[in-house]
Structure 1
């Protein structure tokens, strides 16, 4: 089976959007530094409100640092995330010199999207997870209070489905998306743009 067996766009788009998905099976293999840093370089070029660039990443790629990250990932996610080559926590600065930054989370999400697409372009897979203890992560990683923690991102090379616990094997497929007409309204909420 291929990604196209699970995902069919309603309109023609670049295959990179269909081919990128979030597997859980990772092969324990080092990512060359220039490849790993290139995915963060892509995130660097994400659009940003007023060019504030509020996102930051704290990464782990040594055994010592990875074990620190393992301490705040929930057990269900840790069963597979511990095999990723690198982990990153995406955070964003919530304040500016002018006060609250209402766009910090939006911008951080855009940076994550750039990272995920570039990782796929480089032959890597990524999986962002919300299943982690944010307060413990803040303490372990020494993240200042003015930064919001959003997700832990597993980055690496895709492994075989059989390497996962049985309960996760059935979920190791690209997820679909609702039809575009259910997400796109015209003129007012609820008025279909597509018939």
Structure 2
């Protein structure tokens, strides 16, 4: 088994949960118990939210029939590996409020997904969010109201072996690294950096 810290080295001290979480593609065909699955979504419930509107929603597919419906809008390149995942979820958010458009809906939904991903990792699960899906077909299949926007399909389950993947995906089955902090963190104005080589 790979040692994630050989690949990912933080520049400043952070909780291991941030380094350990990554997005594998190899899933075991093993059911996730209700209490484990629901605890993952419970974590997303507590994400910060602008004006406490909590615009995010999740639609999950666990039965063969529901997963087949989800397969109809997932692109073939993702279907190759995500069909092994016991749970699929679509994360969506409400784009409007009683007062008009909610400019923060996608930001908040992304935060809820982040909370979900970290709790899933803590529970021994893996998650992989996919942007490769047909949003309009998903809207039709899932009967989404007009004021909701789908953002991603998330595969949730237990990690399998890389050898279970098609050959072209096996070499990618490892955590990715991240750019240096100084490339993302500026001070005062865009592009002004006060960090060294972190």
Distance, in Å, in 2 between the alignment partners of 1:144 and 1:159 is 36
1:68-104 CA-partner distances (Å, limit 9, x unpaired): 0011100000010000010000000000011000000
Matched residue, 2:174? 173
Aligned partner of 2:11 in structure 1 is: 10
d(CA) in 1 for partners of 2:168, 2:90: 26
Give the 3-state SS of the residue equivalent to 2:158 in structure 1. strand
Q: What residue ranges of structure 2 are gaps of 5+ in the alignment?
A: none
- Aligned match of 1:111: 112
Residues 1:98 and 2:88 are matched in the alignment: no
Shift of 1:2: 1.1
Structure 1 residue runs of 5 or longer lacking an equivalent are: none
Partner Cα distance (1:3, 1:114) in 2: 20
CA drift of 1:193 comes to 2.9
Question: RMSD across aligned C-alpha pairs, in angstroms?
Answer: 0.5
What SS does the aligned partner of 2:65 have? helix
TM-score for both structures, normalised by structure 2: 0.98
In the TM superposition, what whole-angstrom CA distance separates every residue of 1:133-168 from its partner, at most 9, and x where no partner exists? 010011000011111110000000000000000000
Alignment of 1:32-181 (within 5 A): 32-181=33-182
Q: Partners of 2:144 and 2:3 in 1: how far apart? A: 40
In structure 2, what is the equivalent of residue 20 of structure 1? Answer: 21
Relative to the length of structure 1, the TM-score reads 0.99
